[in-house]
Structure 1
Amino acid sequence: MTDPRSGEPEDPAAAVVCLDVGSCWTKAVLVQPDGTPAGFAEHPTTPDLLAGVDAAVAAVAASVGRPTGGPAPDVLACSSAGGPLRLAVVGAERLTATEAAYRVCRSAGARVVGVHAGPLTDDGLRDLAGQRPGVVLLLGGSDGDDPAVLLHNARRLARSGGDRPVLLAVDDDARDAALGLLRAGGRTVTACPNVTPRAGEIVPGPVRSAVAELYARQALGAHPDAGRFGELARTRTPVAVAAGAAALARLTGSGVLVVDVGSATTDVHSASPARAGGPAVVTVEGDLGVRDAAGGVLIEAQTEGIVDPVEADLLGPAVAALQASGPTVPVDRGAAAEDRRLAAVAAVVALRRHLRHTGRLDGSGCDGEIGLVILTGGVFRQRDPAGLAAVAGTVRRDPVLMSALAQVGVRVDSESVLAPAGLLAAHGRDEAARALLAERLPG
């Protein structure tokens, strides 16, 4: 392995800074060669990414007394700075298009930012551009429906310019004509089976897989070949956390579920000691987070019956403020408690979705029993043991999750070591990764 900052081979006997570049915060943990975390620092993620990275590395080095201007520590980095994939849907009928879009985005790292029904107009195209989608999902209708609206919309999208890729999920009989129109306009198109083959039926699976692949490409926040940041951060944060979950499963000898609550997304990882290659399933919820996705948490909490109308009214102003705040830290104990409550609810919703997605609301992990649940993410870096214990209790006592988690330990990764452990393991520092997990997250 080579250190991308210096171009020199990595020294496994040297301390290393493990970086997690998120959409709001860049977190840095300095880990000693024996796996001991020696320092932590964070910095708001900056538009050019590197400024925040350099500031976080300098701050964590200073926190342990490394001299300014001295040799730069080795750096291992992962990133989810790109945030969720923004998806807009264009369809023939609003209710069907809306339901299809949300089901396609579910657990695939995407967030619905707009729904357009019927023939696209000039105003509709302006609205679509203003929503800044990363991808447009183009629907027609049920198999055999008149393709006139679909072909009109394909023609308008083709002529509108822009480089947003299009996912075309329509009737086989209309697909070639729509493909021809879109590609003639220079659009990048991925063709998928029809999401709505029959009235009242939605089949999201194939399109969801295509959405997940697009999310994986843009999650880093910069192209892998984009200068120094591209060299530094070639690993997506979900991949690093997945590697940490796999290492923890091997260490504990039992199935592990890891929930990573971020500002813009919440990820769930299933890992088993029997699967040496890593977690069997990773789901990424692009509508759940504790800053710009806080509104999604509140909506889903009410839909799932986790939050009653009274609590929803009480949390509403805080959620609105958090969505607009960008990278912020709680200013008092009340704000910290609101953060924890939103994070706990996001974890419950994400776990319910994950276990439904895998068909495992029966107490089984991917390849065996669930033995441990870990809650991780910057929101949990609070020095409030009672408050964090209440978060764990919210997950453990959830009536829907209880059948799967009744006898399972729930731990909070309050020192943010899961992603660093995954980065260490992925770079051949297995002993340091095991030592870090054994000391800070014992099963």
Structure 2
Amino acid sequence: MTILAVDFGSTFTKGALVADDGTVLGTASSLTTGTQGRGDILDGYRTVRAELGVPDDAVVRACSSAGGGLRLAVVGYERTVTAQAGHRVGLSAGAKVVHVAAGELTRADVAGVRASRPDIILLVGGTDGGNSNVLLHNAARLGAGAIGGHGARAVPIVVAGNVEAREAAAAVLERAGRPTLLADNVLPQIGVIAPESARAAIRDAFLRHVIGGKGLSRDPDFAAMVEAATPDVVLRCVEVLASETGGDVLVVDIGGATTDVYSCLTPEGEDAGLRKEVVAPLWHARTVEGDLGMRWNAEHVLDAATSEHLLDGVADVDALRAYAARVHERPGSLPADDLDRRLDLELARLAALVAVRRHARAAQPTESARPLANVAVLVGSGGVLRHADAAGRDHVLGAVLTDHAGGWKVPRSAQATVDTAYLLFAAGLLADDPDGGRLARAVAAQIVH
């Protein structure tokens, strides 16, 4: 059985053809079509199929971040407790968290949620057996707010709060005609965060209510083939990589609009016991830096690097600023010569450093930093790294591994590698197969070996 793994990205549609023993037979990519209101997203997909010579009987597995990906609004009880837990769970589910609201919603608060144009709302609040009033109040407000409209246009709501009030909150929403999915509490007790059930419900809502409504294709085959949001399956691949390598894994994905950082860690010592924090960290986690991108946010990379005092070591800051301004204005541009390539790699180095620092450091003064000292494998991803030579890749990833001034504990002994064939999504798509993840492990092994 041959499998075609497909990632419908915001810029490129990527494909990987995988044999039944996990061997990657080939990869291809094409510009993503249908995202600007013209054409159909399956046009680019068909180009990928033709380039790879995909057999007619191949099984297709797909993920998508096209059309803006999965936009999530989080509504919680307290901003630093359940809302923070919901935010972390949303990121781990592959969502772009576009709004966070906390406390009893007012009409103005509901208007703020609506203005963020979410695809899904994650409603959380209260530990199990704790406060239920805020959860029920917010369910009523969201029901009356009719965010997204009615019928098929209604924005689905995942309820993942106090289990003792969950059914009542769902009943309020359903009476208001809101599509509602139930999940276990993301914060069942103080110091414990439980993402799995909410992640599954968000994924279900994405598939049932969101992906077919993006206007990317008139062909129902598109919605039928997509299984998850792309960042969700990449996190699953990071988990497979950690299992395959037997150690902690850190992935830095430097994109045109954002830089995503994923980590899969095994806590040790004090970290493995009772957490000091009100909201415990996720050991399998993703952070998204929406201001750090190689094209659309190139100038913001330099702003962030300035705040981190990283420009002091840059040889020609003025040239880098001019380059960042140019690619920001023309996000489809590629490096034209050796100077452009050097500046592109310097921009990537700064984006990676800032993104990893933010991922590693404590989000709140009362929290602990993410323990990355035991990371055994650092994987770089993104076009800038895939197209770089060995020296260029080391310039970016080596900077991360030697960032001793960054306010976080750098890995003591980590192997750095680049996902040159872009297989992270493919391994993630295969991770939950009934073969026990055999194919996923085989594909993941080709990333790190």
TM over 0.5: yes
Aligned match of 1:367: none
Which residue of the other structure, out of 39, 49, 52, is the alignment partner of 2:44? 52
For 1:184, the aligned partner's letter is R
* Structure 2 residue aligned with 1:346: 355
Conservation of the 8 A alpha-carbon contact between 1:306 and 1:345? yes
Task: Say whether the 8 Å CA contact 2:124–2:161 is kept in structure 1.
Answer: yes
- Letter of the 1:46 counterpart: G
Partner in structure 1 of residue 420 of structure 2: 414
| One-letter amino acid of the structure 2 residue matched with residue 158 of structure 1 | G
In 2, the alpha carbon distance for the partners of 1:167 and 1:233 equals 20
Looking at structure 2, the residues matched to 23 and 190 of structure 1 have their Cα atoms a distance apart, in angstroms, of 30
Contiguous gaps of at least 5 residues in structure 2: 213-218, 267-281
1-structure distance, mates of 2:130, 2:441: 56
Q: Which of 54, 64, 85 is matched with 1:80 structurally?
A: 64
1:147-226 matched pairs, under 5 angstroms: 147=133, 153-161=138-146, 162=149, 163-168=154-159, 178-187=169-178, 188=180, 190=182, 193=185, 205-206=193-194, 208-217=195-204, 222=211
Amino acid at match of 2:9: G
Query: What are the within-5 Å matches in structure 2 for residues 362-373 of structure 1?
Result: 362-363=373-374, 371-373=376-378
Inter-CA distance 351–21: structure 2 relative to 1 (3 Å threshold): farther
Query: Where does the alignment leave 5 or more consecutive residues of structure 1 unmatched?
Result: 2-9, 11-15, 273-279, 364-369
Task: Choose which of 336, 357, 377 in structure 1 pairs with 2:382.
Answer: 377
For the Cα contact (< 8 Å) 1:79–1:219, is it kept in 2? no
More deviation, 226-235/379-388: 226-235
The letter for the 1-side match of 2:63 is S
Counterpart AA for 1:28: G
Question: Over residues 33-79 of structure 1, what are the superposed CA-to-partner deviations in whole Å (9 max), with x where a residue is unaligned?
Answer: 99576664332353343122123334x44xxxx7xxx9769575431
Q: Give the 3-state SS of the residue equivalent to 2:378 in structure 1.
A: strand
**Larger mean Cα displacement after TM superposition, 329-338 or 96-105:** 96-105
Label 1:176 to 1:218 Cα distance change in 2 as closer, same or farther (>3 A).
closer
More moved, 318-327 vs 332-341: 318-327
| Residues 86 and 134, structure 1, Cα contact 8 Å, conserved in 2 | yes
In the alignment, which residue of structure 2 is the partner of 1:228? 221
CA distance in 2, matches of 1:247, 1:96: 31
1:390 to 381, 395, 416: 395
Report the 3-state secondary structure (helix = DSSP H, G, I; strand = E; otherwise coil) of the residue aligned with 2:177.
Answer: coil
Q: CA deviation at 1:227?
A: 3.2
Distance 1:316 1:408, change over 3 A: same
Greater alpha carbon shift after TM alignment, 331-340 vs 237-246: 237-246
1:27 equivalent in alignment to 2:20: no
Q: Distance in 2 between matches of 1:138 and 1:432?
A: 33
Contact 2:360 2:369 in 1 (8 A): no
Aligned equivalents of 1:29 and 1:266: distance in 2? 21
8 Å contact 1:267–1:285 — kept in the other structure? yes
> Given the alignment of the two structures, is residue 337 of structure 1 paired with residue 346 of structure 2, yes or no?
yes
Q: Which residue of 1 aligns with 2:287?
A: 285
Specify the code of the residue in structure 2 equivalent to 1:56. V
- Aligned-pair CA distance for 1:135: 3.1
Give the C-alpha shift of residue 110 in structure 1.
3.4
Structure 2 distance, partners of 1:228, 1:348, is 41
User: How many corresponding residue pairs?
Assistant: 395
Q: Provide the rounded CA distance (Å) in 2 between the counterparts of 1:189 and 1:38.
A: 39
Q: 3-state DSSP class of the match of 1:390?
A: helix
Report if the CA contact (8 A) 1:29-1:38 is conserved. yes
- Counterpart residue identity of residue 261, structure 1: D
What is the letter of the counterpart of residue 27 of structure 1?
K
Q: Does 1:133 align with 2:118?
A: yes
CA pair 192-420 structure 1, distance change in 2 beyond 3 A: closer
Instruction: Indicate if the aligned counterparts of 2:401 and 2:410 stay in contact, CA closer than 8 A.
Output: no
Pick one of 241, 249, 263 that aligns with 1:257: 249
- Contact kept in structure 2, 1:90 and 1:116, CA below 8 Å: yes
- 3-state DSSP of counterpart to 1:205: coil
Structure 2 vs 1, CA of residues 153 and 404 (structure 1 numbering), >3 Å: closer, same or farther?
closer
Sequence identity, in percent? 28
CA distance in 2, matches of 1:330, 1:22: 21
Give the superposed CA RMSD: 5.6
CA drift of 1:392 comes to 1.4
Q: CA deviation at 1:248?
A: 9.0
- Secondary structure, aligned partner of 1:405: coil
Greater CA drift, 95-104 or 152-161: 95-104
Tell me the TM-score normalized by structure 2: 0.62
- In the TM superposition, 1:296-307 aligns within 5 A as none
User: What letter corresponds to residue 183 of structure 1 in structure 2?
Assistant: E
1:342 is aligned with what amino acid?
A
Contact 1:108 1:286 in 2 (8 A): no
CA–CA separation in structure 1 for the residues paired with 2:259 and 2:125? 29
Q: Find the residue that maps to 1:23 and give its secondary structure.
A: coil
Residue 278 of structure 2 is matched in structure 1 by none
1:113 to 91, 98, 113: 98
Q: Deviations over 1:396-430 (max 9, x none)?
A: 11337985622222112233345456778969897
Residues 160-183 of structure 1: CA deviation (Å, up to 9, x unaligned): 224333355667887676454333
Report the AA paired with residue 193 of structure 2: G
Deviation at 1:389, TM superposition (A): 0.8
TM-score, normalised with respect to structure 1: 0.63
Deviation at 1:381, TM superposition (A): 1.9
2: distance between equivalents of 1:191 and 1:183? 15
* Cα separation, 2, equivalents of 1:181 and 1:218: 18
* Structure 1 residue 393 displacement after superposition: 0.7
Amino acid in the other structure paired with 2:98: V
Tell me the residue number matched to 2:279.
none
Equivalents in 1 of 2:434, 2:412: separation in Å? 35
Opposite residue 390 of structure 1, the aligned amino acid is H
Q: Which string of whole-angstrom CA distances, capped at 9 and with x for unpartnered residues, describes residues 238-261 of structure 1?
A: 5477458747965xx653625151
The letter of the residue matching 2:351 is: L
